[in-house]
Structure 1
Amino acid sequence: MGFTSYLNTSFDFDSETFETINKVVFDAFIPLRVGYRYQKPEGGFFFRIGYTPFFNVPVRAGKIWSFNPYWAGLSFGKSF
């Protein structure tokens, strides 16, 4: 579990003046990770698999908490 903040570019459209407005906004999310790692103590082949959903944090007015459950990872390697 962690906390990640970042700057994001937001494009808005003003329907009265037909102009686009480019804003840089602060966003954040909380990633979670549940996984399994197989690695022998003497080295050699290893692999890991993880499920990594995250929550979007409502740092601006008008945003709500949202959950994104669609991330996972798989890795293979060699340890020595």
Structure 2
Amino acid sequence: LAVGFRAPTVDELYSRFYNPTGRYDQLGNPDLEPEIGRGVEIGANFETGDFTGRVAAFHTRYQNFIETVTRVDATGFTEF
């Protein structure tokens, strides 16, 4: 079992940037909560004569996942 934790960066929380051309804006979110990941991994090693191998599978669920969103408006400009 594994548990991960990531606090939002200062930019993710409070960044405010507006490009005068309107092509790029960055807007933070002061309401972000820490990101938490909980995961499990299971695996096996095997050997049969001349052949050896390893198989593993993992699954992680995130709570309060923090992501950057990029959108393109009707004029074709990209906004973040």
Give the TM-score taking structure 2 as reference length. Answer: 0.39
TM-score under structure 1 length normalisation? 0.39
Task: Report which of the two has the higher share of strand.
Answer: 1
Larger RCO: 1 or 2 (CA < 8 Å, sep 6+): 2
Q: Which is richer in helix? A: 2
